[in-house]
Amino acid sequence: MRTIIAVVLFLCIIGSTSSVKAGGVKGKVSIPGESNLENVIVYLDGVKGTFPVPSKHAEMNHLNLQFVPHILAVMKGATVDFPNSDTVLHSAFSISKSNPFELGIYGQGHEKLMTFQNPGLVELFCHIHSHMHGYILVLENPFFGMTAKDGSYSIPNVPNGTYSLKAWLSPSDNIEKTVTISGNETLSEDFTLTAKR
């Protein structure tokens, strides 16, 4: 019995010392002339591994004849709900190469969903309202954050390594820098984007 206990304790010690170290990155995004800085996507590219898909669905609402939020980030394999909160009909679709889809026409109080299997940019439109436009950025890993109104973001529990850190507002307004996560440190990285929404 004592031998079994000793072996178990040894394995626990080995497991704890060989565990993967993880740090993080946080900071702020600024856009000159903008006071509301929420929903800029900040994400890490190049993180290797297999990651579980979140069981909780993300949401892209139809509200006041707009896609809300205008920009959404999800991991590949995630499901997004598309509820209609307007009193009019909507018909969301995308012709993006990575994840083309068409939800069809549906009214207030109803919702449809779409699972995004492939990484890439999904540009959203509505067949009925030509001015409606939005984006879903489908990412390879779960290490991303959406900015709050003050532009702050946080990406915790990042495995140690060197990665590309990207801030994304639109296909034409994004910034990339190289960061190295070491030990349990949390890096501070700020971005300044140029385009107004």
Global pTM value = 0.85
Number of domains in the chain: 2
Which domain, by its residues, includes 183? 22-51+143-197
d(CA 78, CA 95): 19
Among 113, 140, 167, where does a domain finish? Answer: 140
150 within a domain of the structure (yes/no): yes
d(CA 158, CA 144): 10
CA angle 56, 179, 46 (to 5 degrees): 50
Pair (121, 155) in one structural domain: no
10 within a domain of the structure (yes/no): no
> What CATH code is carried by the domain that includes residue 97?
2.60.40.420
Pair (28, 46) in one structural domain: yes
9 within a domain of the structure (yes/no): no
Pair (61, 80) in one structural domain: yes
- In tens, the pLDDT along 73-122 reads 999 999 999 999 999 999 999 999 999 999 999 999 999 999 999 999 99
pLDDT band for 22, please (50, 70, 90 cuts): confident
* Predicted pLDDT of residue 133: 97
- In tens, the pLDDT along 135-169 reads 999 999 999 999 999 999 999 999 999 999 999 99
Give the residue among 194, 82, 191, 196 at the shortest CA–CA distance from 147.
191
14 within a domain of the structure (yes/no): no
Give the residue among 162, 139, 3 at the shortest CA–CA distance from 72.
139
> What CATH code is carried by the domain that includes residue 170?
2.60.40.1120
Pair (89, 135) in one structural domain: yes
7 within a domain of the structure (yes/no): no
